[in-house]
Amino acid sequence: MCGIVGYIGERQAYPILIKGLHRLEYRGYDSAGVAMIAANKNLNVFKCKGKVSDLEKFTEGKDKSGNIGIGHTRWATHGEPNDVNAHPHYSQSGDIVLLHNGIIENYASIKENLEKRGHTFRSQTDTEVLVHLIEEIKEKDNIKLSYAVIAALKQVVGAYAILVMDKNNPNELVAAKKGSPLVIGVGEEEFFVASDASPIIEYTKNVVYLDDEQVAIIKRNEELKIRNLKDKDVTPYVQELEMELEAIEKGGYEHFMLKEIYEQPRSIRDSMRGRLNADKAIVQLGGIVDYEPKFLKAKRIIIIACGTSWHAGLVAEYLFEEYARIPVEVEYASEFRYRNPVIYEDDIVIAISQSGETADTLAAIELAKSKGATIIGVCNVVGSSIARATHAGSYTHAGPEIGVASTKAFTAQVTVLTLMALHIAYKKGTIIESRYRQLLYELDAIPEKVERVLKLNDKIKHIAEIHKDARNFLYLGRGYSFPVALEGALKLKEISYIHAEGYPAAEMKHGPIALIDEEMPVVVIATKGPNYEKVVSTIQEIKARKGKIIAVVNEGDKEVKKTADYVIEIPETDESLVPLVSVVPLQLLSYHIAVMRGCNVDQPRNLAKSVTVE
């Protein structure tokens, strides 16, 4: 995690850095720092615990001038979040400063050797070790900063995006990456560096995405140069950003999360655009077309993901098994990668990730790849590490998701996976034509149904008000609604810090029922489908134990209404598409509860948008 930003050009760097850090704050927000070289050659470094706004206060009245600078917003890995551990970090002499996103895994042994050679360290971070090593190499070998960076990185095990600046050379920034993302904006006689394009977009649309093990030498009034760790020059590939500025702004909403919840009718539509023609019963997924034969022959699909993406994977399990008749295993990437899993060459591995950066998912992909499996990506961030590590894939096209709690990315993932499962089923002949057509029509109608759910906002807010002080929540669902129960519980705990558990409704009697009393709100997804009657029985069991029932039902439901304390009526859809509609009220419920509890909805404590470390 962590956000990196840098500037070199004619403008004042500080305002660009601060604005950029605000945009990158979703990546980490426990401390922040900036460094600028002023015209008088002073290196001014300001860093402190807290958010970017705390850093702004901290720098008030101080010399922030300079048209070269670097900035960082941190999600702590090594060393607690405090002023000293905040980035940038200094070299031994204090002349070189460096910021880092990722983990230097072998930092302890490098540190030990540096200490033996007289280095002293100010912080507990792995990052500081790297900047000391760079300076030592630079001085010992009397080489330029960029060469010293390359030499140092050859000794490093781990993941990184780094940005380095030398007080003695105010005309150069050096950036490098492996695993963690880094993008360079190429303006008119100016350059921008950032962890993603959001801090750059208002200045230039021309960007270069660094590849792993590449080092960018960014000099004032010179062309951008890139070298790789094999000491070869690489021609920078400048591409035009497709993103618009509005996509990364709040657009009048109080929080990004609310904006993103409300964007879902559009984002679901975007994820189907050019792929679904319900009238002609055509599904086209251009990104996986070359791998269709492998899909059709696959004896097994393994889905790897983390967090919310893992929940989307569970929905996909039901879809692929029901319609394409392919056995599916859904794995936490972090478990999969370390348990010596059995992987066959004819396995299809689907890796799901919003950010395309999650370290565990990336490592699980590499493992599966090394065993010869075919890896299909379902990512949101175009050009991300996971998207590039997979053999093929389908982007979700949900647009930038900035709120840390994932909402529109989930529904876009489920939409793309639904298209994939139905398409493969149709090609395999495991679904009859009429059912296939019916499902495509239903899928096409989902955005309009989500629109209707959003109109229930006031009612959901009212339910939130009543339950905002609860200490625990239980979420129950069966079949396709079980992953939704998990996702609903995750949303609530992520942003409101209320303990919440998701359970398959029928499992309730094997444990969670012991927790139920008049203090326990139980959210039950009880939409029409083959399990409806059984879920109604579960609701009775909860009621008998005085639990408070908040039921998500279909419009016009009469049965559940008799028992539930509160009902949220959502439009009816096919059972296998219910998650796309039923998750929306649960997102809104969590959102309102968190706001009412005074929580920072977009930046919940201890979390970060993408987890680029183990």
By annotation, the residues acting in catalysis are 2, 609
Taking CB under 6 A as the criterion, the residue among 309, 407, 573, 587 binding ligand G6P is 309
Determine, following the binding rule CB under 6 A, whether residue 125 of this chain makes contact with ligand G6P. no
Q: How far is the CB of 611 from ligand G6P (least distance, A)?
A: 5
Strands 3-8, 191-194: pairing kind: antiparallel
Among 1, 10, 5, 8, which residue's Cα sits nearest to residue 20?
A: 5
**∠ CA(160), CA(303), CA(321), 5° rounding?**
170
Determine, following the binding rule CB under 6 A, whether residue 587 of this chain makes contact with ligand G6P. no
Residues 405-464 that bind ligand G6P (CB under 6 A): 405-406
Place of tokens 């370390």: 338
3-state secondary structure of 421: helix
Given a contact cutoff of 8 angstroms between Cβ atoms, the answer to whether 610 and 1 are in contact is yes
Q: How far is the CB of 487 from ligand G6P (least distance, A)?
A: 9
Determine, following the binding rule CB under 6 A, whether residue 101 of this chain makes contact with ligand G6P. no
Question: Which stretch of DSSP H or E encloses residue 418?
Answer: helix 408-428
Question: Which stretch of DSSP H or E encloses residue 58?
Answer: helix 52-59
Name which of 311 and 449 has its Cβ closer to ligand G6P: 311
Tell me the C-alpha distance between 381 and 610, whole Å. Answer: 11
Q: How far is the CB of 442 from ligand G6P (least distance, A)?
A: 26
The two structure tokens encoding residue 512: 């969670």
Which one of 56-64, 140-148, 229-237, 307-315 is the stretch in contact with ligand G6P (CB under 6 A)? 307-315
Taking CB under 6 A as the criterion, the residue among 67, 73, 123, 358 binding ligand G6P is 358
Position 373, amino acid: A
Q: How far is the CB of 406 from ligand G6P (least distance, A)?
A: 4
Tell me the C-alpha distance between 400 and 119, whole Å. Answer: 42
Taking CB under 6 A as the criterion, the residue among 3, 88, 307, 399 binding ligand G6P is 307
Spell out where 311-418 has E strands: 328-332, 348-353, 374-379, 392-393
Using Cβ positions, the residue closest to ligand G6P within the complex turns out to be 307
Name which of 67 and 355 has its Cβ closer to ligand G6P: 355
Taking CB under 6 A as the criterion, the residue among 361, 527, 554, 576 binding ligand G6P is 361
Given a contact cutoff of 8 angstroms between Cβ atoms, the answer to whether 325 and 430 are in contact is yes
Beta bridge partners of 521: 548
Determine, following the binding rule CB under 6 A, whether residue 390 of this chain makes contact with ligand G6P. no
Which one of 72-80, 118-126, 226-234, 353-361 is the stretch in contact with ligand G6P (CB under 6 A)? 353-361
- DSSP letter for 109, please: H
**How many residues make contact with ligand G6P (CB under 6 A)?**
16
Taking each continuous run of H as one helix and of E as one strand, the counts in the chain are 19, 27
Determine, following the binding rule CB under 6 A, whether residue 404 of this chain makes contact with ligand G6P. yes
Beta bridge partners of 218: 173
Which one of 43-51, 196-204, 261-269, 604-612 is the stretch in contact with ligand G6P (CB under 6 A)? 604-612
Determine, following the binding rule CB under 6 A, whether residue 483 of this chain makes contact with ligand G6P. no
Spell out where 333-381 has E strands: 348-353, 374-379
3-state secondary structure of 89: strand
Taking CB under 6 A as the criterion, the residue among 73, 127, 146, 353 binding ligand G6P is 353
Given a contact cutoff of 8 angstroms between Cβ atoms, the answer to whether 492 and 473 are in contact is yes
Q: How far is the CB of 499 from ligand G6P (least distance, A)?
A: 17
Name which of 170 and 604 has its Cβ closer to ligand G6P: 604
Determine, following the binding rule CB under 6 A, whether residue 610 of this chain makes contact with ligand G6P. yes
Determine, following the binding rule CB under 6 A, whether residue 59 of this chain makes contact with ligand G6P. no
Q: How far is the CB of 377 from ligand G6P (least distance, A)?
A: 11
Name which of 247 and 607 has its Cβ closer to ligand G6P: 607
Among 157, 154, 164, 159, which residue's Cα sits nearest to residue 128?
A: 164
Sort residue 258 into left (φ over 0), alpha (ψ -120 to 50) or beta: alpha
Position 454, amino acid: L
Which one of 86-94, 193-201, 251-259, 351-359 is the stretch in contact with ligand G6P (CB under 6 A)? 351-359
Given a contact cutoff of 8 angstroms between Cβ atoms, the answer to whether 92 and 135 are in contact is yes
Q: How far is the CB of 590 from ligand G6P (least distance, A)?
A: 12
Name which of 354 and 587 has its Cβ closer to ligand G6P: 354
Determine, following the binding rule CB under 6 A, whether residue 31 of this chain makes contact with ligand G6P. no
Determine, following the binding rule CB under 6 A, whether residue 355 of this chain makes contact with ligand G6P. yes
Which one of 187-195, 219-227, 350-358, 418-426 is the stretch in contact with ligand G6P (CB under 6 A)? 350-358
User: Contact residues for ligand G6P (CB under 6 A)?
Assistant: 306-309, 353-355, 358, 361, 404-406, 607, 609-611
